[in-house]
Structure 1
Amino acid sequence: MNLRKILIAVDNSTCAEKAAKTGYEIARTFEAEVALVNVIEPVPATISQDLTLAPVFMETYDNSEENSHILLQGIQDAYGTGVKTTFLSVLDSAAHGIIKQSDEWGSDLIVIGTYGRTGLYHFLMGSVAEHVARKSACPVLIIPNKADI
């Protein structure tokens, strides 16, 4: 297996931290570079005809983009010492954004954490990790939240 580019999908959760730690360990083993991707999901809003909510939406997006960069920088500082890292922050749905960024960046592997939810919540909400694994053009390593990493 020739891993040169590893995309690690992260959000502000413990399972994302576990995925980041594992992804960076793999990157060091294969001397690969990493892209950290954080997807900013659009806030559903009802916009009136006079577009009064448009400035509010843009301000919210700007804050989210800034927070995303802070998150990515913190993860790189914690786990990415010595590994070339690219930051990707995109406005999209989680699974679609991860897959699109992986395709555009040319990932050889996607590393993603999972909350491990089951039952009704899983049925209603689905799993981002499962969706990414089904639709990705490259292998996907799913790190369970229960993993003691």
Structure 2
Amino acid sequence: MTRQLLVPMDDSVPARAAFEHALTVYPDDEITVVHVVDDLETGYAGGSASADADEAEPEFFTEVRELATTHDRSVETVVIEGTSAEAILEFADEEGADQIVMGSAGRSGVSRMLLGSIAEGVARRSTIPVTIVPRGR
């Protein structure tokens, strides 16, 4: 039975490590890579999340598809809007994901202190298994 994995991504080393982990450890499962345009973070930067969500997909999605191809896989890529942890959990629920695979420590410094750890928020509130892949994986 094919399972549906959700891999939240930004343009960070931990997110890439989580994606590579999903590709190699779960070779028979379908993978959806989701990027969240974070309402809260955009607000701190003085911009508009809606304007960002309307722009073209993130550049790193090209790299995501290329990496999937090297593993003889294809992935779905989606951009959603919201507050990161909540948006990830809501999307996972709506899409019927069986598991979330994500990196830790994608943020640093003040951003991490103001917004908290997204991976921790997802892991604490998720009703499905969450695999958190460390930075150096």
What range is the shorter-chain TM-score in?
0.7 to 0.9
What's the TM-score, normalizing by structure 1?
0.74
Conserved in 2, the CA contact under 8 Å of 1:3 and 1:109? no
RMSD of equivalent CA atoms: 2.9
Unaligned runs of at least 5 residues, structure 1:
46-52
Superposed displacement of residue 44, structure 1: 1.9
Aligned pairs, how many?
132
CA distance in 2, matches of 1:115, 1:82: 28
The change in CA–CA distance for 1:88 and 1:120 in structure 2 (over 3 A counts) is closer
Superposed displacement of residue 110, structure 1: 0.4
CA distance in 1, matches of 2:106, 2:63: 24
The code of the aligned residue for 2:18 comes to A
1:109 lines up with 2:108 in the alignment? no
1:12 lines up with 2:11 in the alignment? yes
Task: Output aligned runs, 1:1-149, within 5 Å.
Answer: 4-28=3-27, 31-42=28-39, 43-44=42-43, 59-63=51-55, 66-68=56-58, 70-80=59-69, 81-115=71-105, 124-145=114-135, 147=136, 149=137
CA distance in 2, matches of 1:76, 1:104: 23
Conserved in 1, the CA contact under 8 Å of 2:53 and 2:80? no
What's the TM-score, normalizing by structure 2?
0.80
Unaligned runs of at least 5 residues, structure 2:
none
